[in-house]
DNA sequence: CAGTATCCTTCGTGATACTG
DNA sequence: CAGTATCACGAAGGATACTG
């Protein structure tokens, strides 16, 4: 949810880094991905999200929803009923993003073990956390 | 650089979200991508990184390097000379990650305009920042 | 139901001085 | 050169009471 990546006055290769950051800044928050995935299955209501995205607080759900809506990744539809009924849906842009995230997912799956091993090795050689 | 995504006790679809987060947590920091890309070109020294990754402080460079090394994304080679000479190289695992990030990059390029438009529209309808 | 408003804590980051 | 140590600050995130 951080801003401030304006991508100015950097040379060649770091420009690419900046473009990647642009994309990551849209999903870098602690809850964005979970919400996006839940909303990609079809329209979903506020309270349903609160249940499906485990551990999220009401405040963070609202904030993250607003940001995703602002970036055009979620569409918010308010039914004028009482009690209110609000449904969130992933936009086509968000669905494309999700496709792109699959590549990342596969990377994580491939290297889950390797990373754990690397961490364990590192923590053994240097000071382990709490030790 | 945040931890705390243990991926436990969540149902079906949110498990996928968690896997994505696993990957993103490795590159979610403000500087990780820039460093990774610089180090993917070949061995690079501390001071060179400090120059190439614009705006980074000495402290954050050290911290980010340590984390990337710990996760097995960077290899650190110390030449036993005086003055010291330390070179960082992206591991094969990191190179694969970079490939995966290209999908994200293309998404960002495709939708850069769309996102700006969405933001402008949102800020116009609701309260714009400073207004 | 779908949020706001408020308060509080922790984390990430920056600036800078010091060192093997 | 390649770091470490300290201090400080703002933003991200959490808990929860209140409301149209």
CA A82 / C1′ C13 distance in Å: 46
Q: Which of A2, A116, A127 is nearest to B6 (CA)?
A: A116
Q: What percent of chain B has pLDDT over 90?
A: 83
Average pLDDT over residues B78-83: 95
The reply to whether the predicted model has a pTM over 0.85 is yes
Residues whose CB is below 7 A of strand D: A 1-3, 29-31, 55-60, 83-84; B 45-48, 58-59, 62, 65-66, 76, 83-86
DSSP state letter for A67: H
Helix or strand holding residue B37 (H, E): helix B32-40
Distance, CA of A98 to CA of A89 (rounded, Å): 13
Per DSSP, the three-state class of A4 is coil
Nearest nucleotide by C1' from A2 CA? Answer: D11
Residue A13 confidence (pLDDT): 84
Alpha-carbon gap: B8 to the closest alpha carbon of chain A (Å): 10
**Concatenated DSSP letters for A18-63?**
HHHHHHHHHH-SSSHHHHHHHHHTS-EEHHHHHHHSTT--HHHHHH
* Residue in chain A nearest B20 by alpha carbon: A105
- pLDDT of A129 > 70? The answer is no
> Each residue of B19-66: pLDDT tens digit?
999 999 999 999 999 999 999 999 999 999 999 999 999 999 999 999
% of chain B surpassing 70 pLDDT: 91
Q: Are B93 and A117 in contact (CB under 8 A)?
A: no
For chains A and B, CB pairs below 8 A equal 148
- The span from the CA of A111 to the CA of A127, in Å, is 24
pLDDT higher than 70, residue B106: yes
Nucleotide D5's nearest residue (CA vs C1') is: B59
Contacts 24+ apart (CB under 8 A), B51-60: B52/A11, B52/A13, B52/A14, B53/A14, B54/A9, B54/A10, B54/A14, B56/B31, B60/B30, B60/B31
Q: B123 or B11: which carries more pLDDT confidence?
A: B123
Task: Tell whether A51 lies on the interface with B, counting CB pairs under 8 A.
Answer: no
Check residues B28 and A129 and name the one with the higher pLDDT.
B28
Q: Does A23 touch chain B (CB under 8 A)?
A: yes
Q: What pLDDT does residue B66 have?
A: 97
Mean of pLDDT over chain B: 91
Å separating the CA of residue B38 from the C1' of nucleotide C8: 40
Q: So what's the pLDDT on residue A127? A: 74
Contact residues, chain B, for A19 at CB < 8 Å: 105, 108-109
């Amino acid at each position: 949810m951080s801003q401030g990546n304006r991508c100015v006055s950097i040379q060649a290769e770091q420009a690419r880094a900046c473009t990647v950051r642009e994309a990551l800044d849209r999903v870098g928050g602690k809850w964005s991905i979970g919400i996006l995935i839940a909303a990609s299955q079809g329209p979903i209501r506020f309270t349903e999200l609160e249940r499906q995205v485990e551990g999220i607080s009401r405040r963070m759900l609202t904030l993250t929803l607003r940001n995703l809506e602002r970036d055009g990744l979620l569409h918010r539809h308010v039914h004028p009923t009482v009690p209110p009924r609000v449904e969130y849906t992933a936009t086509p842009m968000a669905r494309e993003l999700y496709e792109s995230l699959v590549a990342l997912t596969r990377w994580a799956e491939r290297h889950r073990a390797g990373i754990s091993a690397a961490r364990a090795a590192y923590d053994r050689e240097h000071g382990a956390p709490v030790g």
